[in-house]
Amino acid sequence: MEKKSFNGVLLDEHMLLNLSEFSRAGAHHTEWIVELVAEGILEPEGNAPDDWLFSTEGLSRAQKAMRLQQDLHINMAGIALALQLMDQLANLQAQLRQN
């Protein structure tokens, strides 16, 4: 049984998403994304929410933030701190691998 195959759009690092596209791609409420930007967890290009453009690398970050909030009941400032420490840890581990 040969079925038609679908071509998707790869959301790669060259692609920029506006607020509503970004929210849909990560299954988030736009309000939640706005909060993440306000806390500096996501840093889109552009000044106002209508002009914001997100890189797709932020998708996994937003998802991680969501899980930290839901699973560990961490508030925004705590999420920002946890993500920052995780980034530092990842950088150190990458450096270790390079030596």
Partner 1 sequence: MDYKDYYQTLKVDKQATQDEVKRAYRKLARKYHPDVSKEQNAEALFKEVGEAYEVLKDPEKRAAYDQLGMNWQAGQQFEAPPNWDAGFEFSGDGGAAAFSDFFESLFGRDQATQNAQSRANPNGPFGASHTHAEDHHAKVLIDIDDAYHSTTRTITLQAPEIDSTGHLVNKQRSLRVKIPKGVKQGQKIRLAGQGSSGLGKGTAGDLYLEIEFAPHAFYRVDGKDIYLDLPVTPWEVALNRKVKMPTPTGTIDVRIPKHAKTGQKLRIKGKGIPAKQPGDIYAMLQIIVPEAKTDEQKALYEKMEQALPDNPRSAMGV
Q: Which residues bind partner 1 (CB under 8 A)?
A: 3-12, 14, 23-25, 27-29, 56, 59-60, 64, 67-68, 70-73, 82, 86, 94, 97-98
Write down the least CB distance from residue 32 to partner 1, Å: 11
Residue listed under structure tokens 């970050």: 61
Q: Please identify, using beta-carbon distances, which residue of 38 and 86 lies nearer to partner 1.
A: 86
Q: Please identify, using beta-carbon distances, which residue of 7 and 47 lies nearer to partner 1.
A: 7
Cα 84 from Cα 41, distance rounded (Å): 9
Residues 6+ away with beta carbon under 8 Å from 38: 76
